[in-house]
Amino acid sequence: MSLAGKKIILGVSGSIAAYKAALIVRGLIREGAEVRVLMTRAATDFISQLTLSTLSRHPVTTSVHSDESWNNHVELGLWADVYLVAPATATTLAKLAQGICDSALVAVYLSARCPIFFAPAMDVDMWLHPATRANVERLQGYGNHLIDVDNGELASGLVGQGRLAEPERILEVLRAHFARQHDLDGRRILITAGPTHEDLDPVRYLGNRSTGKMGIALAEAAAARGASVDLILGPTPLSPQGTGINVTHVRTALEMHREALQRWPQATDGILCAAVADYRPETVAPEKIKKTGDGLTLKLVRNPDIAAELGQQKQPGQFLVGFALETENGVENARGKLERKGLDLIVLNSPRVAGAAFGHDTNQIQLIDGNKVTSFELKPKREVADDILDRLPAHPTPSP
């Protein structure tokens, strides 16, 4: 994928690695991108504004209070297809994470509606410090994209993590991003997300700890890549952002089952991410259940198996993805579920992994397709969503 015609902002902060900004700008210009450069005051101690303005063919801005940038920092944030901060120092990461708007770099970041990529550069101990790790996680939690540091010799003379990613790797990340933008054009993807609540009486229900974050991330990522998304969302205060997502709110497993079966025939792909209750109370008390005696016995009945029914109804050209949350024998249990329910791919995750599964902004998954198991590191759920969507077949045949 070429970067020709792409509008890219480069934010440069005060690191010895700032000299690589010249290589990044030159690479972007060579590929035909339009580039605007923002610098912090500290960055000008390491590389001159003249160098970057010459390479980018546009003036470089350092202060939001300058005459030329007072009104157009918002305009610039709306102009760009991507905002890349490279290098991003520990100080700049902290300011971005906390919204401390003392430079044009941060002002445009806060105004930007485009995807944000940040490539850190600092000494190893600074990179590994809990404060830096927390700022990185917060930025990723906002939906920004980390271009991870390289391992090698640092300016301090130490060897370890903290080197700015090489310019070519940064360009390759941007190429991959733009290549994904329309790779799901023409697809109609059914996604289930969130928990279900199975009522006991007017005030109580059986539920689980799902928040819907993973399914919402999948819906947002699929829509951003050109798909039309039908999101069936269980009870959660969260909602997806962006266009191209048709949301149907449901509460119970029976409601989710009904909506999923209704929409599946029109879908090219299905991703069943919801944590659907396996059982529901046989009867729902019309009034609040009062305490009587030392115990309470509830009779439960099985809910329909949405994944199995969609697997049975799957037509040629449709691709069905399921999720498995396992606490033991994960791969074995997930593979069994894949085969029994007629799935094409299953996503395995575990609540025993710190920072994964319910309630977190991150997840760690394994993708299982027959005998093939692909493992991924812990990462933001939006990036996990792209890893899953990358496994959809390239040219599905739309269902009748």
Q: What is the pLDDT of residues 262-321, one digit of tens each?
A: 999 999 999 999 999 999 999 999 999 998 888 999 999 999 999 999 999 999 999 999
Residue 333 a catalytic site member: no
pLDDT of residue 288: 95
What is d(CA 127, CA 162) in angstroms, rounded to the nearest whole number? 6
* Residue 323 assigned as binding residue: yes
For residue 270, what are the β-bridge partners? Answer: 190, 320
pLDDT of residue 294: 86
What would the DSSP string read from start to end of 82-99?
A: EEEEEEE-HHHHHHHHHT
- Total H helices, total E strands in the chain: 13, 21
For residue 30, what are the β-bridge partners? Answer: none
- Structural tokens at position 334: 């997930």
Residue ranges of domains in the chain, CATH in brackets? 7-180 (3.40.50.1950), 188-389 (3.40.50.10300)
* Residue 278 assigned as binding residue: yes
Sign of CA dihedral 279, 285, 289, 292: negative
What is d(CA 137, CA 69) in angstroms, rounded to the nearest whole number? 30
pLDDT of residue 399: 45
For residue 39, what are the β-bridge partners? Answer: 12
Rounded to two decimals, the pTM is: 0.79
Model pLDDT for residues 39-81, shown as the tens digit of each residue: 999 999 999 999 999 999 999 998 776 555 445 667 888 899 9
What is d(CA 263, CA 222) in angstroms, rounded to the nearest whole number? 17
With a CB cutoff of 8 Å and minimum separation 6, the contacts of 130 are none
Sign of CA dihedral 198, 200, 203, 206: negative
* Residue 314 assigned as binding residue: no
* Residue 20 assigned as binding residue: no
With a CB cutoff of 8 Å and minimum separation 6, the contacts of 241 are 220
Q: Which of 398, 392, 390, 384 is nearest to 141 (CA)?
A: 384
Task: State which residues of the chain have pLDDT below 70.
Answer: 1, 65-73, 395-400
pLDDT of residue 116: 95
* Residue 288 assigned as binding residue: yes
Instruction: Considering the candidates 144, 151, 208, 329, report the single residue annotated as catalytic.
Output: 208
Q: What is the CA radius of gyration of the chain?
A: 24
Which secondary structure element, helix H or strand E, spans residue 320, and what is its range? strand 319-325
Q: Is 345 helix (H, G, I), strand (E, B) or coil?
A: strand
What is d(CA 51, CA 56) in angstroms, rounded to the nearest whole number? 9
pLDDT of residue 400: 44
For residue 271, what are the β-bridge partners? Answer: 191, 321
pLDDT of residue 398: 46
